[in-house]
Each structure stands twice: as structure tokens, then as C-alpha cells.
Structure 1
Amino acid sequence: MVPRGCILAVLAAFCIFRLLCSHGAPVVPTSPYLMLCQPHMRCGDKFYNPLQHCCYDDAVVPLGRTQGCGNCTFRVCFERCCSWYHSPQPSLMVKLIDQNFNSAPTLDDRLCHR
């Protein structure tokens, strides 16, 4: 017959070994809306997802937001309204955000009257 102390010692060693070697089950995300690996930007003191919003005039706005520019409208996340003095009378021009507002007009630009 084996002494009770030996059985307890072997059982304790086995439990400790199992605890040290266990890695746990992998966790599978249950929600499609987890934001762990999606990019986030900052607008003032607020965070936003650049796939859904942009920062315009220190405010978080949806990508589809438009605003008036003379008799035109422009998408505030992708375009901007600029003063244009290269025509006979001063007017406004909608240009893409990445373009210099003093650059020559391109096919993407729109001339807008005040």
C-alpha cells in the first residue's frame, strides 16, 4: 500500500505542472465591430475612424458631408473651397485637398461663382 503523503505529493506536482504548462484556449472575437486593429486618428480631443469620418474645422464629420462654396458644393473630407483671383473677377474654386490652392486648375477643379 502506498502512503497517503506520496499520493498527495504526486497529485500536487501534477496539478502544478498542468498549471505551468497550460496556455489556455484561444479567444475568438464574437463581435464583427471590434476596433482592436483598425486605424484611429485624433481630431482635437476626440478619436475617430478615418474609414468612416474625417476631421474638418476641429470637428469629426462623416465622409459624405458636403458644404457650400459659392454656387457649388464640395465634399469637406476630400475637397476644399479656395478663393480664385486668376479670372477677370474674383471667384471661388473647389480643389482636391492634396492640391496647392495656388496651383493651375486641373480637370478635377470646379470654378464656382459667389
Structure 2
Amino acid sequence: MVPRGCILAVLAVLCISRLLCSHGAPVVPMSPYLMLCQPHLRCGDKFYDPLQHCCYDGAIVPLTRTRGCGNCTFRVCFERCCSWSLMVKLIGQSCTSEPTSDDKPCHSLS
């Protein structure tokens, strides 16, 4: 004989799952903080939201973070400083690749 508590628990699970699945398409959350199914990335041992931060030099930084490269400023989440040539290139481009129209030539501050 099956205990009455188990039967009630199974019925409750079935009712809740039917209720959740009966509304058709999933509802998009109105708050950016309700991203339960959004992929999060790791930076070291911490998770971060790639829509607000990036991992730079082992630290989680806001997408707006900038640093200097000679007399230029570059966005650390999107660009890199090629210090030996004093050129700012997009992330993913090698410092040894040919210059493109997206590159920013910089000059030494000395």
C-alpha cells in the first residue's frame, strides 16, 4: 500500500507542472535581475553577467572600464593595447596582424 503523503506529493507535482506548462510561450522577465536561464561566464572562481561585465586580468570589471595605452585610452572588454607597437586593436586581433581601419595608433607619452 502506498502512503497517502506520497500520493499527495505526486499529485501536487503534477498539478504544479501542468499549471506552469499550460501558459504557452515563456514569459520574458521585466527585470534584468531575473536571468535564471541566462548563461553566466566565470572569471576565476566567480560568475559574472557578460551583459554588464567582463573578465580582465583575472578580475571582473564593468564593460565601461578603460585603461591607457600611450596617449590613447582603450576599453578593456573590447580592445587591447599592443604595447610594443603602441596600437589599440579589437579583442581577438593579434598584435602582429596587419593594421586595419579599426586600429588606433597611439604615441608614447615620453
| Mapped partners of 2:67, 2:59: distance in 1 | 14
- Alignment equivalent of 1:98, drawn from 92, 100, 103: 92
Q: Mind listing any 5+ residue stretches in structure 1 that lack a counterpart?
A: 1-15, 85-91
> Which blocks of at least 5 consecutive residues in structure 2 are unaligned?
1-6, 22-26
* C-alpha displacement of 1:31: 6.8
Q: Which has the larger radius of gyration?
A: 1
Matches within 5 A, 1:1-114: 20=11, 22-24=14-16, 25-26=19-20, 32=31, 33-82=33-82, 83-84=84-85, 92-114=86-108
Single out whichever of 22-31 and 41-50 deviates more from structure 2. 22-31
**Secondary structure class of the residue paired with 1:26:** helix
Tell me by how many angstroms 1:40 deviates: 0.2
Normalised by the size of structure 1, how large is the TM-score?
Answer: 0.69
Deviation at 1:35, TM superposition (A): 2.2
* Alpha-carbon distance in structure 1 between the residues aligned to 2:20 and 2:58: 41
Aligned length: 92
Provide, for residues 24-62 of structure 1, a one-character-per-residue CA deviation record: whole Å limited to 9, x for no partner.
243989872212111200001110011110000000001
* Distance in 1 between residues matched to 2:29 and 2:103, nearest whole Å: 45
Q: Distance in 1 between matches of 2:29 and 2:76?
A: 35
> Relative to 1, partners in 2 of residues 1:101 and 1:26: Cα closer, same or farther, differing over 3 Å?
same
Query: Quick one: which amino acid aligns to residue 105 of structure 2?
Result: L
Distance in 1 between residues matched to 2:100 and 2:73, nearest whole Å: 17
TM-score (norm 2): 0.72
Check 1:112–1:42 CA distance in 2 against 1; reply closer, same or farther (3 A cut).
same
